[in-house]
Amino acid sequence: MARDDFRLLHRERVRWGEADMQGVVFNAHYLTYIDVGVTEYFRALSEAAGGGGEGLDGNLPVGGGDFFLARTELDYHAPAEFDDMLEIGMRIKRFGRTSVEWVGEIHRGGDHLMTARMVYVHADVETKSSKPLPDAFKQLVAAFERVPPEGA
């Protein structure tokens, strides 16, 4: 995937506490970076929809639902190190009936460090049971993304 495919590129610096004794980022912190990317994606999507960037708590048309992580895959290509400036790219690749497939990448300059694939299920806030994605949400995401998601 090309970096230009990502509308959202969030910059994040590696902090001291995220690196091990060799100065390399401990693997579990990549999940935190990707989670920050998802949060920043929803903030940018909310702003694009004319809101104040409140994310899911703002003006996004999620139909009384929320998203729950169901699956994550991480592929490590090269290590990040203490004080590196990272770019976290996030995009929604595909819509299912009740799910959203995300792709995330972490870069340092021209180096592609990590790729993440995640599936989030859209569910009723009260019952936590899956429910179909609202068409308004899919349309908003499709208009926001540089590469339209499959199933849009």
DSSP 99-144: EEEEEEEEEETTEEEEEEEEEEEEEETTT--B-PPPHHHHHHHHHH
Q: Is residue 152 part of a domain?
A: no
Is residue 150, in this structure, part of any structural domain at all? no
Percentage, residues of the chain above pLDDT 90: 82
Strands 85-95 and 99-108: what pairing?
antiparallel
Q: Are 67 and 101 in contact (CB under 8 A)?
A: no
Q: Is residue 54 part of a domain?
A: yes
Taking the model in full, what pTM does it have?
A: 0.91
Mean pLDDT across 126-141? 94
In a domain, 151, yes or no: no
Locate 32 and state its tokens: 């935190």
Residue pLDDT, tens place only, 83-106 = 999 999 999 999 999 999 999 999
Residue 95: give the domain boundaries. 3-144
Per-residue pLDDT tens over the stretch 41-62: 999 998 888 876 655 556 688 8
Q: 100 in a domain, yes or no?
A: yes
CATH of the domain at 125: 3.10.129.10
The domain total for the chain is 1
